[in-house]
Amino acid sequence: GQQVMQIPQYQHVQEGEDFTTYCNSSTTLSNIQWYKQRPGGHPVFLIQLVKSGEVKKQKRLTFQFGEAKKNSSLHITATQTTDVGTYFCARAGSARQLTFGSGTQLTVLP
Amino acid sequence: NAGVTQTPKFRVLKTGQSMTLLCAQDMNHEYMYWYRQDPGMGLRLIHYSVGEGTTAKGEVPDGYNVSRLKKQNFLLGLESAAPSQTSVYFCASSYIQQALYNEQFFGPGTRLTVL
């Protein structure tokens, strides 16, 4: 299948530090979606990117879509304990089915 | 609105037993999906449906069957459970909007253990 690779798998940061997770594909992506899953919870949609070079912000979260539409990143500025969870990127197929990356598990140390 | 609901929340089966997981959504969404989540592997698509009466295979369909007899319900069946099917199962739904890939709304999940 058309995989999306996500790195790192785990990230531990001190509260207040920044955090970035990366999503890469060997083929051009039509779109990329980002989801957050809190421990013991279910994935919750954060954002969708569709345009080359697109940058979107949600408060302390910045999402980028690469110029070649083969990579994407999620950056969190000044992490807080509420940011704890696993962040997934996902690409949508022709029937809108999602192929997920393996996720980055973020731990924020107080 | 309840959104996407799943029953049961937890289940323990013995190898060879069968069971059905129920997903229901009250958002009038056309598309529904079943995923499984295993540690360190993200979510993998089992089966999906693009409308009432239709189903299609996803990435890991073996050992599972599905049915979408009503628009609001999507059932996932395990005919003969195996320990490899121990996982957390998530149902999701999404709406149709032409030319856009839309967000999926996930249910709370079912934790299944097969002994």
- Mean pLDDT value across residues A80-92: 95
Span B30-60, pLDDT tens digits: 999 999 999 877 899 999 999 999 999 999 9
- Are residues A75 and A20 in contact, defined by beta-carbon separation less than 8 angstroms? yes
User: What is the predicted pLDDT for the residue at B99?
Assistant: 56
Q: How high is the pLDDT of residue A59?
A: 96
> What distance in Å separates residue A48's CA from the closest CA in chain B?
8
Bridge-partner residues for A89, per DSSP? Answer: A34
CA distance B50 to chain A (A): 7
pLDDT digits (tens, 9 = 90+) for B85-94: 999 999 999 9
DSSP-derived secondary structure for A90-107: EEE-TTS-EEE---EEEE
The pLDDT value given to residue A94 = 75
pLDDT over 70 (residue B101): no
Name the amino acid, one letter, at B110: T
> Residue B82 has what pLDDT?
97
Which of B23, B36, B103, B110 would you mutate first to test chain A, the one with the most A CBs within 10 A? Answer: B103
pLDDT in the model for residue B39: 81
Instruction: Compare CB distances from A100 to B42, B100, B105 and report the shortest one's residue.
Output: B42
Name the pairing type of β-strands B110-114 and B10-13. Answer: parallel
Higher pLDDT: A102 or B101? It is A102
- Residues of B with CB below 8 A from A98's CB? 33, 43, 45, 104
Q: Name which of A40, A37, A39, A2 is nearest A21 in CA terms.
A: A37
pLDDT of A96: 74
Q: What is the pLDDT of residue A78?
A: 98
**List of chain A residues whose C-beta atoms are within 8 Å of the C-beta of residue B107:** 42
Q: Tokens in use for A87?
A: 């962040």
Cα gap A61→A19, rounded to integer Å: 10
The mean pLDDT of A77-95, rounded to a whole number, is: 93
Q: What DSSP designation does A82 have?
A: G
CA distance B76 to chain A (A): 16
Mean per-residue pLDDT for A25-47? 95
**Mean predicted confidence (pLDDT) in A56-76:** 97
